[in-house]
Amino acid sequence: MQRAASSTVDRMIRAARLDVDVYEELERDTSATWQALSVVIIVAIASGVGALLAGIVRGVPGIAVGGFIGGIIAAVIGWAIWSLVTYLVGTTLFGGTASYGELLRTIGFAYTPNALQILGFIPLIGALIVILAEIWALVAGVVAVRQALDFSTGKAILTVSIGWVTMLVITALIMTLIGLGL
């Protein structure tokens, strides 16, 4: 068990460093899907803690608690949707070669930089950290998708953009329907 945790942390660090080899490794390792889910949950919790602390600092902790819970649910739903849309767009429109599982694993680890959102509560620079973490995660997503689908960076950027925007819209709709609107 300790070995798996170490491997997950090692992979997270390598994914955040945009190490193409880790994305190739994740693409092949069918047992890493659970690791990818754990990364998404870890990142969602870190982000949620940052939002909760920001709510406390700003004097609105009640809103932050709902956002924390909704954020974890949205992260997992968003990961599944982003991976699926990316898979469909990448294989259908751009001729990439990958399975849905390969995209779940690589995109899941691409979420890693968003763990920095735990620092979002820091006055003055917290919002900047959150924005930079999102951009870094999107860049990691491009690397992940390029490696998983085995195509050019340009196609990866288009695929990630389409998948990410679609994920945002669908996740927002789902969260609104279940009463946890974001």
Mean pLDDT of the chain: 88
Domain residue ranges in the chain: 2-177
- The average pLDDT across 97-126 equals 94
CA angle (31 as vertex; 110, 161 as ends), nearest 5: 25
Alpha helices in the chain (DSSP H): 2-16, 20-28, 33-58, 61-88, 100-110, 126-149, 153-177
* DSSP-assigned letters across all residues of 53-80: HHHHHHT-HHHHHHHHHHHHHHHHHHHH
- Rounded to whole angstroms, the Cα distance separating 50 from 44 reads 10
The pTM of this model reads 0.88
pLDDT score of 52? 80
Confidence bin at 2 (pLDDT 50/70/90) = very low
